């Protein structure tokens, strides 16, 4: 593995405006979308703490606009990351931020960003099936770059750090989270009724006239998010 390349890659991501990053070894995963690209680079971009704190009982126009802005920035940073790796002589492909393009029968995508992120150790899966990081809670978006560059991977997350907390479970208007605590190998459907979650996001989006299916209530409710918001507040 190339620790110097990994360090320079991380610096590039942060210089481009990323909030954090991680590297994962995906060699043992079956059905990767791009054969031979066995390393994943997770790029994180935090959501505005002021905007997230205003979500309350449902998504706001500010949150919608922030969601769109962050997705656009992630796509740009991801593209710059691909160019950096290609310039170093390696193959790389960007899997952009999650959009409305998914399998409607399963509400899933071929390769979830969370798969790479958990293996990179940048966070764990919370009770609402969102990735939770120690620094931002679930108040961030992410994209993934797959590459054959021999990067130095992080230590995978295998256990939840949510403890007994059920804030996201109790806040969800769709009652989608089952309340089960995640550990490595737990399937999405054991944690959340993803169809109930999606119906709720579509309801909010139809009410507001938005194309994106968003909610954000469980993001704002998370104590790790509140810690992030507090850390960015003026004394």
Tokens 């390696």 belong to 90
Number of domains in the chain: 1
Pairing of strands 140-147, 20-25: unpaired
Task: List, for residues 149-205, the tens digit of each pLDDT value.
Answer: 999 999 999 999 999 999 999 999 999 999 999 999 999 999 999 999 999 999 999
DSSP for residue 2:
B
Task: List, for residues 86-131, the tens digit of each pLDDT value.
Answer: 999 999 999 998 765 677 788 888 899 999 999 999 999 999 999 9
Show the 3-state SS of 165-194. CCHHHHHCCCCCECCCCCECCCCHHHHECH
Distance CA 110, CA 20 (A): 24
Q: Which domain holds residue 123?
A: 3-231
15 or 98, which is more confident?
A: 15
What single string gives the DSSP state of each residue in 121-182?
TS-EE-TTS-EEBTTTBT-EEEEEEEE-S-B---PPP-B---TT--HHHHH-TT--B--PPP
């Amino acid at each position: 593995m190339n620790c110097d390349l990994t360090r320079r890659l991380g610096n590039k991501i942060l210089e481009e405006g990323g909030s954090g990053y991680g590297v994962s070894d995906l060699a043992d995963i079956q059905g990767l979308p791009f054969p031979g690209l066995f390393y994943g680079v997770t790029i994180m971009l935090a959501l505005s703490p002021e905007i997230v704190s205003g979500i309350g009982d449902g998504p706001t126009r500010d949150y919608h606009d922030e969601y769109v802005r962050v997705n656009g920035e992630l796509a740009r940073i991801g593209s710059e990351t691909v160019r950096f790796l290609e310039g170093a002589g390696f193959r790389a492909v960007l899997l952009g931020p999650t959009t409305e393009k998914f399998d409607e029968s399963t509400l899933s995508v071929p390769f979830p960003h969370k798969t790479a992120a958990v293996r990179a150790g940048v966070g764990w899966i919370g009770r609402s099936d969102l990735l939770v990081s120690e620094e931002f809670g679930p108040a961030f978006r992410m994209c993934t770059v797959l590459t054959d560059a021999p990067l130095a991977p992080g230590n995978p997350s295998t256990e939840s750090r949510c403890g007994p907390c059920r804030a996201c479970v109790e806040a969800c208007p769709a009652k989608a989270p089952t309340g089960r605590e995640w550990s490595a190998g737990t399937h999405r459907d054991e944690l959340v009724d993803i169809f109930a979650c999606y119906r709720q996001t579509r309801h909010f989006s139809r009410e507001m006239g938005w194309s994106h299916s968003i909610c954000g209530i469980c993001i704002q409710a998370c104590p790790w998010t509140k810690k992030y918001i507090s850390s960015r507040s003026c004394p």
